[in-house]
A = this chain, B = another copy of it.
Amino acid sequence: MATFIDIHEGFVGATKEQFEEAHRRDVEIQAASGVEFVQAWLDPVSGKAFCLATGPSLEAVIHVHERAGHPAKEVYELPIAV
């Protein structure tokens, strides 16, 4: 199981409730994919969101976000952590 981070844009001014709702859609969809979203963070000033996930592949992470209706702008596999 690999670790991934993805970056979303367009959440300018989003509230915690709106961000939770977006995250909830990911979590609802993730079960069948083998992806698990570990944590997600939002900067409502820039509108950037970052999701840390584990999963079988980069494509699986991309697919969950697409199905949830908020495709990620960038996704990176993170084989090295310190």
Q: Which A residues form the contact surface with B (CB < 8 A)? A: 3, 5, 14-16, 19-20, 23, 39-46, 48, 50, 76-82
Contacts and interface: CB of A to CB of B under 8 A. Distances in A.
A44 B62 CA distance: 19
Copies in the complex: 2
A5 to B, nearest CB: 6
A77 B39 contact: no
Nearest to A23: B82
A78 B3 contact: no
A54 B3 CA distance: 21
Contacts of A78: 41-43, 50
A81 B3 contact: no
A61 to B, nearest CB: 13
